[in-house]
Amino acid sequence: MLSLKLPSILKIKSTIFFTINWLQDNWTNIFLSSLLIYLLVSKNITVQLSLNNQFPPTTKSQPNKRPTKAIKPTTASLPIGSANLTFAQKEQITYVKRFARVAQGEMQKFGIPASITLAQGLLESNAGKSPLASEKNNHFGIKCFSKKCKKGHCSNFSDDSHKDFFRNYNTAWESYRAHSEFLQGNRYKHLLQETNYKVWANGLVEAGYATDQSYGRKLINLIESLELYRYDEII
């Protein structure tokens, strides 16, 4: 048995001796190779980390959500292109910018669409340029039917080829409030449940607000040409 195992033991010892000698002769090369591998691996990790920091993982962008409620329009601009405006249109836009918020306030309090109030003001006062509007602050042609007027309460102006007495107001706002209160009367009461400007425009004619049968169409044309219906939307 011993004679059979001896060659194997000698072979193993020889292999170990050879390996030790090889390692002793080549340890420098082994060390440098290991160091090189370590540097390469470390550099790769550093580069990868740098790239990850520079380009973080992308996430799906959320689409912009539109507000669910109507936004109160501003009076900063109107849709008509300034290059194509006539002088009359410029005056109309100036008037709307001046009184849009007043009309919206009256709408909230009394239920009259702001577009209707603005269109009536534009039409009745000639965009604030009529003598009745510019001198007496009466923007809606509201007449005085009192038989006991105090001095300064009303003025005599021509209307439809005859003389009539019209209310005087200290401010234009008073005229807007008087207009809102006037439309609370029984003749127009049925319109207060409506929000559609077309229904209002035609309803005013049917209720006898104006003798001009094209009055409703004139209001609608003003509302649509200037997009006054935007002012009917309030948060």
On whether residue 77 sits in a domain, the answer given is: no
Q: Which residue has the higher pLDDT, 138 or 55?
A: 138
Closest CA to 92 of 62, 59, 126: 126
Burial string for 124-142 (b: 16+ CB within 10 Å, else e) reads bbbbbebebbeebbbbbbb
Q: Which residue has the higher pLDDT, 68 or 14?
A: 14
Q: Pick the range with the lowest mean pLDDT from 1-10, 151-160, 192-201.
A: 1-10
pLDDT tens, residue by residue, 50-88: 444 444 444 443 333 333 344 354 444 455 555 678 888
pLDDT tens, residue by residue, 203-235: 999 999 998 999 999 999 999 999 999 999 865
On whether residue 91 sits in a domain, the answer given is: yes
pLDDT of residue 65: 38
Per the structure, the count of domains in the chain is: 1
pTM (predicted TM-score) = 0.63
Q: Pick the range with the lowest mean pLDDT from 59-63, 95-99, 189-193, 205-209.
A: 59-63
On whether residue 201 sits in a domain, the answer given is: yes
Match 């029984």 to its residue by tokens.
Answer: 186
Taking the C-alpha atoms of residue 85 and residue 96, their distance in angstroms, rounded to an integer, is 15
On whether residue 16 sits in a domain, the answer given is: no
On whether residue 37 sits in a domain, the answer given is: no
pLDDT tens, residue by residue, 35-45: 777 766 665 54
Range of the domain at 115: 82-142+170-232
In the predicted model, is pLDDT for residue 177 greater than 60? Answer: yes
In the predicted model, is pLDDT for residue 138 greater than 70? Answer: yes
For the domain that residue 193 is a member of, what is the CATH number? 1.10.530.10
pLDDT of residue 33: 72
On whether residue 186 sits in a domain, the answer given is: yes
The two structure tokens encoding residue 89: 């249109």
**Between the ranges 16-25, 71-80, 198-207, where is the mean pLDDT highest?**
198-207
On whether residue 206 sits in a domain, the answer given is: yes
Q: Can you tell me the mean pLDDT for 117-140? A: 96
On whether residue 114 sits in a domain, the answer given is: yes
Q: Can you tell me the mean pLDDT for 84-108? A: 93
